[in-house]
A and B are shown apart, each in its own frame.
Chain A
Amino acid sequence: MYVAVKGGEKAIDNAHRLLGHDRRGDPEIAEISTEQIAGQLKLAVARVMAEGSLYDPQVASLAIKQARGDLIEAIFLARAYRTTLPRFGYSLPVETSRMVVERRISATYKDLPGGQILGPTFDYTHRLIDFGLAGETLPERPAENPAGLEPAPHVTGLLNDEGLIERNAARSDDPPRDLTREPLAFPAGRDLRLQNLARGDEGFLLGLAYSSQRGFGGSHPFVGEIRIGEVQVEFFAEELGFAVTLGRVQLTECEMVNQFKGSATEPPQFTRGYGLVFGQSERKSMSMALVDRALRAEDLGQDVTAPAQDQEFVLSHSDNVQATGFVEHLKLPHYVDFQAELGLVRRMRAVAAAARADEPEEAIPAEADDMTEDREAAE
C-alpha cells in the first residue's frame, strides 16, 4: 500500500532522455545549427553573452540550442561554464570613442560630429508580421556609404567642453573591484554597481528604469548618445612590456544626460548615467544607464526614496541566474518543513476550538496536550 514518492535515479535519467528528445523536436525537420543561431538570432545570442558575462558567440549559440530557446537557462549555462575558465588577467579599458560605429544616434542634438547613423534598427519599422519571412528570403544588399565614416566624439565630451555636464571621475590607479571574485558588500562603489547592472536581468532593469521615469525616483533623462559597434580589446602583457590586441567585441554604449540642480557649492550641471552591454542591446544599455543614474542619488546628495535608487534592493535582485534559481527552488521537496507547519497549525486550531467549546471559562493559552484525536505531528 505504501508507495514512497521518491525521485529515484531511473526517473531522473528518463526525464533527461525525454528532455533531449523534446529539444530535438521532429526528426524529419532539419536540426538547427549553432551557426544559424549565431547568424540569425543575433540579439538572443547578444543577450546570453551580456548576462552570461562571456563574450563567446559560439558558446552562447550552443547554450541557446541546449536551452531550447530559454534565454535565462542559456545565460545560466554560459555562467556555469565561464566560472570554470582560467583567468589570465584584466584587459585594458576599451576605448569606445574609437569604436567602429554601426549605429550611433543622439537625442540631444539634431546633427553632430560623426553624424546620426541609424544602422540596423527596428525603431522605424511598422510592427506588422511579415508573412513573407515564412519562406526563404533573399534580402537586398545594404546600401554603403562610399565616403566612409568620420570620427564620432562622445556627445558628453562636447558638453564637457562647456562645463555643462559633470566630469567623470578621474581614472583611478586602484584596479576596479571584481564582483565575480569577491562577494558584494554595501555600500558598493560605482565600479561594482556598473558590473552588477551589466550582467543584470534586462527585464528587471527595464522595469526599474521605467519606474524611475514614472516618478519613483524622478529622473529627467535625455539620451545623449547610443552607439553600437566593435572595439578592440587589449591586454597589457608584462613579459612583452606593451599591450597586445586580443580581439574585437561588439558593444552597445549609452550615455544618458540627466538634469541636476546646482548646490551652494556647485553651479547647475547635467549629470550622467552610463550603460555598456555586450552585443547589440539598446533596451538593456538604456535601462542600465537610467538605473545607474538612479543609484547615484546618494552620491549626489539626493534623498533615496524609490526602489531604483536603493542599492541593496537593486543590486541584490538584479541577477536572473540567482533569481530564477531561488524562485524555482520552491519546486524542490519541502515535506519536512511543511510537516512542522502542519503540526503547528493543527495544534493551534485545536486550541482555538477548545477555547470556543468552553467559552465562559478561562481564556486561551491552555496547553493542548489532549488532542490525541488530531494526529498532529510537529511541535
Chain B
Amino acid sequence: MSANAAAEAARPYNYAYLDEQTKRMIRRAILKAIAIPGYQVPFASREMPMPYGWGTGGVQVTASIIGPSDVLKVIDQGSDDTTNAVSIRKFFEKTAGVAVTTATTAASIIQTRHRIPETPLGAGQVLVYQVPIPEPLRFLEPRETETRKMHALAEYGLMHVKLYEDIAKHGRIAKTYDYPVMVGGRYLMDPSPTPKFDNPKMHRSPALQLFGAGREKRIYAVPPHTDVVSLDFDDHPFEVNKFDKPCALCGATDVYLDEVILDDRGGRMFVCSDTDNCETRRADGHRGELLGNEEPRA
C-alpha cells in the first residue's frame, strides 16, 4: 500500500469530502448545465462543512470535478490571500490532497468569489464561481414559480424595464456588479456578484465556466466559446468600469482596482484587486507610483 493509499484509508471522509453518489448527482447536473448554457439546473445540494453563503455551491462543484492531477487556485475578491479563499484552498488540500497554486496560468481549476482573473483563461481551464443568488430576476420577482416561467418563455421584459427605469432615474444603468447577461442568445443569467468590469471576459472564453449556488440548489454553466452578452440599449451601450489611476504597485491600467484608505486625511491609493496579476507584473519589472514608476526594459 502506497503512502497515498494509506492516507486515503485513514480518512474519515471520502476523497474531496463528498461521497461518490453525491458527486455523480452533481456531475449529472453539471453536464445538463453545459448542455443548456445559462439554464439553472436544480440539484440536491448538500450541507457542507462551511456555511451557506460562504461558497458551498462552488465547493460542491469543485469537489465533484477535482482529481489528484488537478492544480487548484482559489480567489476571493481577486485575491488568493483573503480568509475565505485560504479556508477553501486548505479544505481541498486536506480532503483531496490536491496541488494548489496562486498562479492563474498554472491552475486547472480556479474557484472564485466576486472576480474573474485578469490573465485570460485558456482551453482546459475551469472557472468555478460561488453564487449567492443565481436568479437574475429574483429582486424583480421574489417567487421562484414565476421566474422559472419567465425563463421558460424567455420573457425578460421585466429586466429591460428595470434597466430603462435606471436610465430614467439616474441617467445611466445603475448596476455595477451582478450585471445581467444573455447566454447563447437564450437564457438571462446572473454572472454572480462580479463587477461588470469582468463581464466581457465571460464572452467566448475558451475556459469552461461553472456556477454553483449551494443554498439555492442551482448549478449553471457557460461552455467554452459561448456568447455572453451584457444587456444594454442602443443609445446606452454597455460600458465597463474605468479607473482614473493605474495600480499604485504595478502600474497596470486595464485592470480592476481596490481602493485602499491610507490615513484619516483622505489619502487613498488604488491597487490591483487581482493579486496574482499584480505580483506577476511586478516580477516582470513593472513599477507603479508607489514603487517609483518604471516600465521593464524591452
Contacts and interface: CB of A to CB of B under 8 A. Distances in A.
B245 A375 contact: yes
B217 A82 contact: no
A2 B260 contact: yes
B51 A186 contact: no
Interface in A347-379: 348, 351, 364-365, 372, 375-379
B125 interface: no
B89 to A, nearest CB: 9
Size category of the binding interface on chain B: 35 or more
Interface stretch (B77-85, B182-190, B200-208, B225-233): B77-85
Contact of A321 (B47, B77, B170): B47
Contacts of B196: 340
A184 interface: yes
Contacts of A12: 83, 86-87
**Main secondary structure on B side of the interface with A:** loop
Contact of A333 (B18, B77, B87, B249): B77
Contacts, number: 176
B114 A337 contact: yes
Contacts of A328: 51, 53
B217 A11 contact: no
Interface stretch (B2-10, B102-110, B171-179): B171-179
A325 to B, nearest CB: 3
A302 B85 CA distance: 49
Nearest to A341: B176
A86 B195 contact: no
Given A340-B177, A378-B195, A335 B86 contact: no
Contacts of B79: 6
A192 interface: no
Contacts of A376: 244
B164 interface: no
Interface in B52-99: 52-54, 56, 76-79, 81-87, 90
A194 to B, nearest CB: 18
A89 to B, nearest CB: 13
B215 A344 contact: no
A7 B81 contact: yes
Interface in B216-243: 217-218, 239, 241-243
Q: Which 10 interchain pairs have the tightest Cβ spacing?
A: A325-B52, A329-B53, A7-B83, A365-B171, A340-B176, A325-B51, A326-B53, A183-B42, A6-B81, A183-B217
